[in-house]
Amino acid sequence: MKEIKVLGAKNCSTCSNLTSDIESKIKELGTEAKVEKVTEIIEIMKFGVMQTPAIVVNGKVVIKGRMPTSEEILNILQN
């Protein structure tokens, strides 16, 4: 099972939308994944991320500083 972290500020609507989009795609694919939104700046910086939103999959940053497309989200979940 994949562990996905969405890195972003508490009040960031883009980050919240990204979390919802990922959860929606997980349901659409019928796959299993754990999704967590990380909002603490210290935790975000541990990943070397200076721009959010960012996506971390199994400990590896795969997207940072931008909102991915639906196709990119699907690729992340399928690979």
| Residues with a known catalytic role | 12, 15
**CA max distance for the chain:** 33
Give the three-class secondary structure for 26: helix
Length of the chain: 79
| Token pair for 39 | 């909002």
